[in-house]
Amino acid sequence: MSLKKFADKIFSRAALRGIVAIVIFLIIWEIGARSEQLFGYRFPFLGLVPPPSDVLVSWAGLIGDPSYWQSWYMSFLRVFGGFIAAMLIGIPLGLFMAVNKTFYGMYFPTFEILRPIPPLAWVPASIIFWPTQELSIAFVTFLGAFYTIVINVLGGARSINKQFLQAAQSMGASQWDIFRRIVLPATLPSIVVGSAVGMGITWEVVVAAEMISGGGSSGGGAGGGLGFFIWSSYVGGSYEQIIVGMISIGIAGYLSSELLRQAGGLLTPWLKTR
Amino acid sequence: MANSSEVADSAVSMAAPQSTEISSMSLTMYRVSNWLKSPRPYLMVIGFAAVLSFWYFAVEVWKLPRFQDMPGLTEVFSEWFSKDPYYGLSVYTPEYYKHIGISLRRIGFAFLLATGLGVPLGLFLGWSKTFREYVFPLFELFRPIPVLAWVPLAIIMFVGSETPVVFLTFLASFFATTLNTMLGVESIDESYSRAARCLGANRWQTFKHVVVPGAMPYIFTGLQISIGVAWFSLVAGEMVSGQFGLGYVINTSYMMIEYPKIIIGMITLGIVGYSTSAMVRLLGDYLMQWRVRELALGDS
Amino acid sequence: MTAVVEQRMAEPVNESVTKGSLRIDDVVKIYDPDGAAVMAVDHCSIDIPAGEICMIVGPSGCGKTTLLNAIAGFHDITSGSIHMDGELLCGPGQMQAEPGSDRIVVFQNGALFPWKTNLDNIAFGPMMAGKLSKSEIYEKARTMMADAGLSGTENNYPGEISSGLRRRVEIVRALMNDPKVLLFDEPYRALDSLTKSVMHEALLEIYYRNKVTIFFITHDLEEAIFLGHRLIIMSSRPCKPKKIVEVDIPHPRDYSVLTSARFREIMSEAKGVVHEEAQKAFDAGEKEG
């Protein structure tokens, strides 16, 4: 049954249409990129981009290159480092703000004022403040996920159905019980959503931070990473590798969100019944 | 909230346009006076004071390690409001407004383009199943690639330093707007389009009277996100390439070791970014009176 | 209220209605999600004369709505046919009816467009048809709203008025199009019983003044007997008429009917059958929907 379902899914009309669209896109890209050789006229935009076949060849050459995989490793390390830090600080902070009205009243406005400043605008200040470049990248990465996680946790914890709390109280639950058995699980779906969004932002920030710092200076021990890979490919003039890097980041980002989705699904099994 | 139910009653009984305007104003007055009576504004002031004084003492008085390298509170604000700024950037210099203006122009152009293309695309993606089955997989293929990973390719593809920055900003906005618009169409309760067909509306009339207004709340959520990510990528774009703009100010001030200007740039970015998203929200409220009124009653 | 009573006296029952008869003939509907065929409607035949209030009674999720959707043209049928006034709506050759303003649905959760004012909602059907001028349409809409006791809410949005008034606006919106048949899909389900009783009398008032056939789905037996000429009690999934109960209480009716001996007799006659089907549906674990 499940195999049949899988086969049905692959050969369904929707999937075939998707494949058709992607193939057509690749053909247009290939022709556009080779327009100068083919027609003697360079198409706008596409004519300046390397063709997909060259990208594939370049990628095949990189698969065996350990430094390419080192870039993956570095980026993943930074993403998860910043992301986990944001969870460790953001979730308790969000919950605390939801529970403690005085603290919320004092610091939420400040939080809201800082939030519109894009994380990347913090890069120079962060470099000045932190002793190493690696730490400054970590800080900016942390910041990217931090705001989203706090906002989602806070929103989730504040929208808990009051009857849940009253039911628990009437059954004699202590404050700690209520927090642990009601507030925390009821906020979990929001935590999962906030983390998923935060993960996307984290990748954006890491890529940019790697480009800005890696592109600006070679020292400080902050080399490597997929963002830097793209930037150095650009500086070195190997344009196929830029696209290899972009696709790699796309895959890496997708894998991270998928990992998070799976973990979220395991943590909130009751949402599946919907 | 006793007052808002009173407002509801008067709206029902009179139903004249001015009467609702007057009551919405009195409602605002009522809320402001309630807010002033609550502890919230005072806590807010205490919070600001705590954060600012920590900044002042840590950097300029106690000179804590690491903090002493940072620009201090008085240094930043005296520069920002100086008639004769030491580093050449304050509210009195035309330079300052030029950077804001250029950033705003880029945002405006990219945001309008992304809205103009993303909203119709999202509407059609949500409305036509066939169209979605062809186009959405392509869209999904590009979406996991962070917008900022496009920076080098954008520089290669577009001539000059201006278009790549605008392109990046556009791209970020475009994905957010399209996706949310599509979700908005999907969120519309099927009975609305069924009702429209029952009442004799054809496919195009259903699109105009049901799909577009029904997706509006999601579209505006999308536009809120869109303007946020637009600033996000604009700053990155301006820091990497491009001339002028607030991101450029922040980056060059770092390289020229004019540290107070970094903070001025950051605060300005926060203010301008917040104002633009507030404008999008106000526009949404203006276009969706039905929703504003519904929510106002929901408070009671 | 007095004016309404006078009108009831003047025009007793809708025997003059000649349009809007429905003939449901041996209709079968099988859903086919992932190859597991689910029979929703099983060889169902119902004849509804023009001007009748026909109450379709059955437990939640028994497939009554499937039948209504087939008449309205929201989805196809697997076999059988449905005719309105002798004309084919759906059947061999055209398994899905074309939705049209001669059969208008009043939805379970209400489907007034929240982004249009009540007046614009009511004017919607004629505006789409485009046969009358805008000013004529809005004049008619205002008159009909006034008749239904909705004056003063013209410029409000549906979200600003009570749910009872919303239902009334929705019925007026349907009547603006001079439909032959009104299809009610448990419209009063979410209302409390006191509001419901007010809505029932209001619906009957509207019915006495407009010549329509009413196809009304419900699981509330009291509602069914109070409103209907006839109850068709359906078996739980697959949906099929199990028992037909004639309500021989003369129209016009008001709420004194509820305490009459005849009402209680009909109630006890129908109750046993309905309860049995509800038990069956409950045991089958049908999810309410």
> Going residue by residue through chain A (274 aa), what tens digit of pLDDT does each one get?
456 666 666 667 888 888 999 999 999 999 988 888 888 888 887 888 899 999 999 999 888 888 889 889 989 999 999 999 999 999 999 998 988 889 999 989 889 889 889 998 998 899 889 888 888 889 999 999 999 999 999 999 888 888 888 888 888 888 888 888 888 888 998 998 889 889 989 999 999 888 877 644 444 444 688 988 998 898 888 899 999 999 999 999 999 988 998 898 888 888 765 4
| B299 contact C CB<8A | no
- Res. B40: pLDDT tops 60: yes
The dihedral over CA atoms of A41, A46, A51, A56, expressed in degrees to the nearest 10, equals 180
Chain A touched by B55 (CB under 8 Å): no
Place of tokens 């099988």: C30
**Domain boundaries along the sequence of chain A:** 68-268
Percent of chain B predicted with pLDDT > 90: 53
Contact B145 A123 (CB under 8 A): no
Determine which helix (DSSP H) or strand (DSSP E) holds A157, and give its type and residue range: helix A133-158
Which of A21, A200, A234 lies closest to B135 in CB terms?
A: A21
Return the residue matching tokens 């800080």. Answer: A139
Chain C residues with a Cβ under 8 Å from any Cβ in chain B: 72-74, 99-101, 103-105, 107-109, 111, 113-117, 124-125, 128-129, 152-157, 159-161, 173-174, 177
Pair of tokens at residue C189: 């389900």
- Residue B267: closest CA among A107, A122, A104, A123: A122
- Would you say C200 and C223 are in contact if contact means Cβ atoms under 8 Å apart? yes
Q: Which two tokens stand for residue C121?
A: 């909602």
Give chain B positions within 8 Å (CB) of A159: none
Segment 241-280 of chain B within 8 Å of chain C by CB: none
Q: State whether B12 and C107 contact (CB < 8 Å).
A: no
C206 close to C175: Cβ distance less than 8 angstroms: yes
Which residue from B minimizes the CA distance to C114? B290
Residues of B with Cβ-Cβ distance to C111 under 8 angstroms? 189, 191-192, 194-195
pLDDT at residue B223 is higher than 90: yes
Flag if C128 and B8 touch (Cβ within 8 Å). Answer: no
Structure tokens at A126: 């962060």
Domain locations in chain B as residue ranges: 2-70, 94-288
B200 touches C at CB < 8 Å: yes
**ipTM, 2 dp:** 0.84
DSSP-derived 3-state class of residue C211: coil
**C neighbours by CB contacts (3+ pairs under 8 Å):** B
Q: For position B50, what pLDDT does the model report?
A: 92
Report the distance separating Cα C160 and Cα B214, nearest Å.
Answer: 17
Strands C241-246 and C213-218, by their bridges, are unpaired
CATH architecture under which domain A68-268 falls: Orthogonal Bundle (1.10)
First to last CA, chain C: 36
The Cα B176–Cα B238 span in angstroms is 21
pLDDT at B12 over 50: no
Q: Which residue of A has its CA nearest to B150?
A: A246
Q: Is A178 exposed, middle or buried (0-12, 13-18, 19+ CB in 10 A)?
A: middle
CATH class, C2-102+179-283 region: alpha beta
Judged by CB atoms closer than 8 Å, whether chains meet at B239 and A20 is answered as no
Please tell me the predicted confidence (pLDDT) of residue C289.
Answer: 43
Q: Which residues pair with C83 in a beta bridge?
A: C23, C88
**Among A187-201, B14-28, B122-136, C252-266, which stretch is predicted with the lowest mean pLDDT?**
B14-28
Least CA distance to B290: which residue of chain C? C115
Residue C206's contacts (CB-CB under 8 Å, 6 or more residues apart) are: C148, C171, C175
Residue of B nearest to A49 (CA): B157
Those chains having 3 or more beta-carbon pairs within 8 angstroms of chain B are: A, C
Say which residue, B10 or B93, is predicted with more confidence.
Answer: B93
Cα–Cα distance for residue pair B236/C286, rounded to 1 Å: 55
* Sites in chain C below the pLDDT cut of 50: 1-14, 288-289
- What confidence category does residue B22 fall into, taking pLDDT thresholds of 50, 70 and 90? low
Distance CA C52, CA C232 (A): 12
Whole-model pTM?
Answer: 0.84
Nearest Cα residue in chain B from C172 = B199
The confidence score (pLDDT) of residue A166 equals 86
Q: Do the Cβ atoms of B44 and A242 come within 8 Å?
A: no
Helix axes B162-187, B94-127, angle to 10 degrees: 40
- pLDDT bracket for residue B18 (50, 70, 90): very low
pLDDT of B234 > 70? The answer is: yes
Question: B94-288 domain in CATH 1.10.3720.10?
Answer: yes
What's the pLDDT score for residue A265? 87
User: In whole angstroms, how far apart are CA C123 and each of B199, C158, C214?
Assistant: 10, 14, 22
Cβ proximity of B247 and B205 under 8 Å: no
CA distances from B279 to A21, B17, B223, B227 (A): 38, 24, 11, 10
CATH 3.40.50.300 location in chain C: 2-102+179-283
